Amino acid sequence: MNYQYWHRKVEIMPRPELEVFQLERLQALVDYALRTSFYAPKLRAAGIKGSDDIKSLDDLKRIPFTTKHDLREGFPYGFLSIPKEEVIRLHASSGTTGAPTTIYFNRDDITRWTGYVARSIYGTGCNHTDVFQNMISYGLFTGGMGFHAGGEEIGMLVIPSGSGNTTRQVRLMQDFGTTVVHATPSFLLHVESIMRAEGVSRDSIKLKRAFAGAEPYSEDTRRRIEELLQIDVYNSYGLSEMNGPGVAFECQCKNGLHLWEDGYIAEIINPDTLEPVPDGETGELVMTILCRETTPILRYRTRDLTGFYTEPCPCGRTHRRLRRITGRSDDMLIVNGVNIFPSQIEEVIMAMKDVGNNYLIEIEKDGVMDKLTVKTEIGPDIFMDDSRPLNALKERIRKTIQASITINPRVELHESGSLPVSEGKAKRVYDKRPR
């Protein structure tokens, strides 16, 4: 395969050179962090008074972890390292569960961020001849403007369609010959459902690739999207605390997400002991950003569960690859004393051809016990008025889920298109147990 590199020298840089580069950037970042009201006392308490106290990458472990709670406690300017007059943009989380987390950028920060997103997109095989439809929310959310700027940097024709209004999204694809889209995996499945319901022929669109992210999803979900839309789907990883999109991305090999280590340092820890896990094992991802001056964030606990691939990628890139994000350490559900993750249920559902694209998980109290209900749509070729195949499908789903999570669920089947659809990040779990 003829692999594409946006910044070849950096992307195939030998590991020793890359680590020297990381150390230099970490030292510079520490100096910026010491200018913030949040990090200054913490770093000095750890014996770090300047960049000279960072002698090697191992010194990163002297720095305490940063959490989402810390970012909220530092709202609005506790993590700002430069005068506010030099800031040109901010992005923020929704703040629905507390004070929002706010990230600031100067002009150089924006330029660097755009470069990482462009590198990610280009590495999937895209170029300036593509038409890119960005079907994700704009505004304070980083995903919209981040991908938009990266696409323009490559020279793609960018359509800032935003999220929602699925019928209009399909029409835009038809009218302008969209070849690449960015969306949540759940919305891509919804787009296919609307195309099928409205009789839109696959031949009427020129779509070749999709970038899916913003919510965890299984490999079976990726395969389903690829089969239904006849496209290549590339997994992407980003989080607003680390700029947003462009942190890690799959290359044309589609076998892990290259973490751009000239811009980030990643650690994988045991979320309970906070100790590093052996290479290749799953744990919680901890991130330090090296490519942003205005809001330095050190050793941020993402809560995302992943691990590193240990073997090299055929594409020749030297930046380590993350495994697919399987969920979040704080997404784990405890049902009747058993630890389960929603992704375990999704893997079962998406691997079944007779099941539709949408599902929900509900947990309620039934006396002193927990009751787990999985609601899923049926495929378009199954009829609700024929009870025998429905009962057989329901029993097959129940047994397969039980074999995966050991919990015996209640299964409900619903007509295709009848369950609620989220046009942003999908809400799959409804925990109705008293708190």
- pLDDT-above-70 percentage for the chain: 96
Question: In the numeric block, which tokens belong to residue 86?
Answer: 């030099």
| pLDDT for the residue numbered 57 | 97
46 and 194 co-located in one domain: yes
| pLDDT for the residue numbered 326 | 78
Which position has the token pair 């779990």? 429
Q: For position 360, which CATH number holds? A: 3.30.300.30
- Give the list of residues 6+ apart from residue 326 with CB closer than 8 angstroms, or none: 216, 282, 305, 306, 341, 343
Q: Which domain holds residue 347?
A: 333-431
269 and 383 co-located in one domain: no
73 and 106 co-located in one domain: yes
Pairing, β 102-105 against β 89-92: antiparallel
Q: Lowest mean pLDDT: which of 95-99, 123-127, 227-231, 318-322?
A: 95-99
Q: Where are the alpha helices (DSSP H) in 104-158?
A: 107-122, 142-154
**Residue 384 confidence (pLDDT) above 80:** no
25 and 1 co-located in one domain: yes
- Give the list of residues 6+ apart from residue 71 with CB closer than 8 angstroms, or none: 79, 101, 102, 241, 297
Supply the DSSP string of 10-26, one letter for each residue: HHT--HHHHHHHHHHHH
- Across residues 372-399, what is the average pLDDT? 84
CB 261 within 8 A of CB 249: no
Rounded to whole angstroms, the Cα distance separating 291 from 302 reads 17
311 and 417 co-located in one domain: no
Query: At which of 330, 351, 385 does a domain end?
Result: 330
Q: Lowest mean pLDDT: which of 194-208, 243-257, 322-336, 366-380?
A: 322-336
Q: For position 301, which CATH number holds? A: 3.40.50.12780
| pLDDT for the residue numbered 354 | 84
- Across residues 281-290, what is the average pLDDT? 97
Round the average pLDDT of the chain to a whole number and report it: 92
Question: For the chain, what is the domain count?
Answer: 2
Per-residue model confidence as pLDDT tens digits over 353-364 = 888 888 899 999
Q: Lowest mean pLDDT: which of 112-121, 140-149, 368-377?
A: 368-377
**Confidence band, pLDDT 50/70/90 cuts, at residue 378:** confident
Query: At which of 302, 330, 358 does a domain end?
Result: 330
CB 388 within 8 A of CB 369: no
317 and 401 co-located in one domain: no
337 and 321 co-located in one domain: no
Q: Residue 426 phi/psi, 5° resolution?
A: -75, 135
Residue 328 or 255, more confident? 255
**Residue 97 confidence (pLDDT) above 50:** no
**Residue 334 confidence (pLDDT) above 90:** no
- pLDDT-above-90 percentage for the chain: 69
Give the dihedral sign, CA 357/244/246/138: positive
**Residue 96 confidence (pLDDT) above 50:** no
Per-residue model confidence as pLDDT tens digits over 48-88 = 999 999 999 999 999 999 999 999 999 999 999 999 999 99
CA nearest to 413, candidates 433, 435, 386, 434: 386
325 and 337 co-located in one domain: no
**Residue 422 confidence (pLDDT) above 80:** no
284 and 369 co-located in one domain: no
30 and 158 co-located in one domain: yes
326 and 341 co-located in one domain: no
Query: At which of 291, 313, 330 does a domain end?
Result: 330
114 and 139 co-located in one domain: yes
Rounded to whole angstroms, the Cα distance separating 167 from 191 reads 8
